[in-house]
Amino acid sequence: MEEFKNGFPYERVVVTGGAGFLGRFVVARLQQHGNLNVFAPRRADYDLVNGSDTKRLLTETRPDLVIHLAAVVGGIGANQKQPGRFFYENLMMGAQLIEQSRLHGVKKLVALGTVCAYPKLTATPFREEDLWNGYPEKTNAPYGLAKKMMLVQSQSYRQQYGFNTIFLLPANLYGPGDNFNPETSHVIPALIRKCIEARERGAEFVEAWGTGHASREFLYVADCADGVLRAAASYNESEPVNLGTGSEITISALVQLIGRLTRFGGEVRWQHDKPDGQPRRRLDVSRAFEKFGFQAQMPLEEGLRRTVEWYETRRATSDRKDISPETKTNLQSSPKS
């Protein structure tokens, strides 16, 4: 981690969700710093929804830093099917981990929120001050609100106990190693898979949810890992911080770009009976740069190209079975722009 010229200020680090999409990048970066003891608990061994497992994890690992990335996540469809599970499990993981970290003498906890926590009709660019100006978009409100409760807990624990917890709000993530399961994937892996499979079948069209008019901001996973670690090393304040690029793209334009990168030349048929989700998403990313020098580096088209190449390679080498989120990923660092 070349950016930490004075060394990373912690020695024992627990990364929840460390075997997941973002977590693998964070753990790999930490492991490049040879003096760190890094532990990534697996759910089979520590179910963080269960309070006793959370206590046992912290007792056994004795971390001075906890990076909380574990979450129950999915696209709009998954959020609609399991809103209760998404709310309860995310809420319980966050609340119990923060409380037990305080009780176990953890020096700092980094909590990862979600852009879904912002109100549905937030004016762009989304500023951190806008978080409480309305209710989130209903299709993912249970998930977004459960994650936002970590901000309330973080700020109240700093006020009452002096516990050092920070709260980060990343844009929609994408990149090599993403979840391509059609039942639970987010928009980019879902579209990549649809276009590649349509090309291979010789299909004349693909279907996409909504109208295509909604916009999203996308952050390459390696860039997000960089932001998380910069904040872990040097940001120690109560105010939430956006992590993103500051740029948005409509879903319609995204589909056209993915179609070109996957060499699918067919038609896009929009499913107007399916929801668009939040109308627009674009973050104000100035606070992250001002507070800990984070600036995303990966251009969207190049990041998508790498993601498409990764997925096609994995399909070719795994008999074209579904790609597991546990699959080892290509951990290339992002280029300078």
pLDDT in tens, 92-108: 999 999 999 999 999 99
Residue 311 sits at φ, ψ, to 5 deg, of: -65, -45
The CB-side HSE value for 201 (13 A sphere, CA atoms) comes to 11
Residue 134 has pLDDT above 60, yes or no: yes
Q: Comparing 90 with 139, which gets the higher pLDDT? A: 90
Q: What is the mean pLDDT of residues 254-261?
A: 98
Residue 321 has pLDDT above 50, yes or no: no
Identify the CATH number of the domain defined by range 12-317.
Answer: 3.40.50.720
Active site residues per annotation: 143
Q: Predicted confidence band at 47 (pLDDT cuts at 50, 70, 90)?
A: very high
Sign for the CA dihedral angle at 130, 133, 136, 137 comes to negative
Q: Percent of the chain at pLDDT above 70?
A: 93
Q: Give the pLDDT of residue 5.
A: 56
Q: Give the pLDDT of residue 135.
A: 96
Other C-beta atoms closer than 10 Å to the C-beta of 34 total 5
Question: What is the DSSP secondary-structure string of 103-127?
Answer: HTT-SEEEEE--GGGSBTTPPSSBP
Q: Give the pLDDT of residue 150.
A: 98
Q: Predicted confidence band at 332 (pLDDT cuts at 50, 70, 90)?
A: very low
Residue 25 has pLDDT above 70, yes or no: yes
Q: What angle do CA 116, 121, 125 make, to 5 degrees?
A: 75
Tokens of 246: 């500051």
Tell me the C-alpha distance between 220 and 86, whole Å.
24
Q: Predicted confidence band at 6 (pLDDT cuts at 50, 70, 90)?
A: low
Express each pLDDT in 277-313 by its tens digit. Answer: 889 999 999 999 999 999 999 999 999 999 999 999 9
- The residue among 98, 72, 70, 69 whose CA lies nearest residue 85 is 72
Q: Give the pLDDT of residue 76.
A: 79
Q: Give the pLDDT of residue 89.
A: 96
Ranges 76-80, 118-122, 274-278, most confident: 118-122
Q: Give the pLDDT of residue 113.
A: 97
Residue with tokens 């040097």: 234
